[in-house]
Amino acid sequence: MTRGRFITFEGGEGAGKSTQLKRLVARLEAQGREVVATREPGGSPGAESIRDLVLNGAADRWSPVTETLLMYAARRDHVERVIRPSLARGAWVVCDRFADSTRAYQGAAGGTDPRLIAALETYILEEVRPDLTLIFDFPPEIGLHRATARPGAEMRFESKGMAFHERLREGFLAVAKAEPERCVVIDADGEIEAVEAAVWAAVQARLPILPDHGHG
């Protein structure tokens, strides 16, 4: 059984990632693949409990370093129980946020030492790394407005202020620049269909075992 492929969606708030993730999952399923759609923080029962702790409450409820450790506690459970076994049985895993969100939110924007984050990647993720990461780039002033208008929004990060969200955007773009073989920046400031086409083009170009037909 060949290992599946691991695709992550990254970016700031309100860039339309979740809508695009659903569309990509539908396209991959239409090719007859088993696809596991998941998210972080969360994706397993234990990690979803940690999500509730980390995303709700006052903006200063946790320091950036504590957040980093909570994110990695959740991530380890998700990797052990969902991501690694799914890839091993040949499923494709499509995850709404993963390790780059910690680099950008807790690292670039929050100020956590990048050496701590790099060490956690090494020891907690082990061999589990995305084959492809799509970084949704979007103006934070529009994204934040969209994200906070959502019913039931989990507000801790949305409430951190515009300077934080500017650093976040730069942090994600820095990840893309540092690892161009893994990352593709998607201009998310366009019509849903245009963004969907850009996502599909990136997936076909970077994971060329896909047949070149389907939804066109």
Closest distance to ligand TMP from the beta carbon of 157 (Å): 3
**Residue 70 binds ligand TMP (CB under 6 A):** no
Nearest to 185 by CA among 197, 201, 173: 173
Element containing residue 92 per DSSP (H, E): strand 92-96
Which letter does DSSP use for residue 127 in this model?
T
Closest distance to ligand TMP from the beta carbon of 25 (Å): 16
**Residue 107 binds ligand TMP (CB under 6 A):** no
Q: Which stretch binds ligand TMP (CB under 6 A): 86-94, 100-108, 177-185, 208-216?
A: 100-108
- Taking CB under 6 A as the criterion, the residue among 27, 76, 97, 167 binding ligand TMP is 97
**Residue 130 binds ligand TMP (CB under 6 A):** no
Instruction: Collect all residues with Cβ–Cβ distance below 8 Å to 96 and sequence separation of at least 6.
Output: 9, 17, 18, 21, 37, 38, 39, 40
Closest distance to ligand TMP from the beta carbon of 212 (Å): 31
CA end-to-end span of the chain, whole Å? 28
| Residue with Cβ nearer ligand TMP (86 or 106) | 106
Give residue 38's region: left, alpha or beta (phi > 0; psi -120 to 50): beta
Tell me how many residues contact ligand TMP (CB under 6 A). Answer: 12
- Within 17-56, the residues that bind ligand TMP by CB under 6 A are 40-41, 55
In contact, 206 and 182? CB cutoff 8 Å: no
**Residue 105 binds ligand TMP (CB under 6 A):** yes
Closest distance to ligand TMP from the beta carbon of 110 (Å): 8
CA 107, CA 78: separation in Å to the nearest integer? 21
Is the bond leading into 45 cis (omega within 30 degrees of zero)?
A: no
Place of tokens 């799509």: 134
Give the contact letters, 150-179, x = binds to ligand TMP (CB under 6 A), - = no.
-------x----------------------
Contacts with ligand TMP by CB under 6 A lie at: 13, 40-41, 55, 71, 96-97, 101-102, 105-106, 157
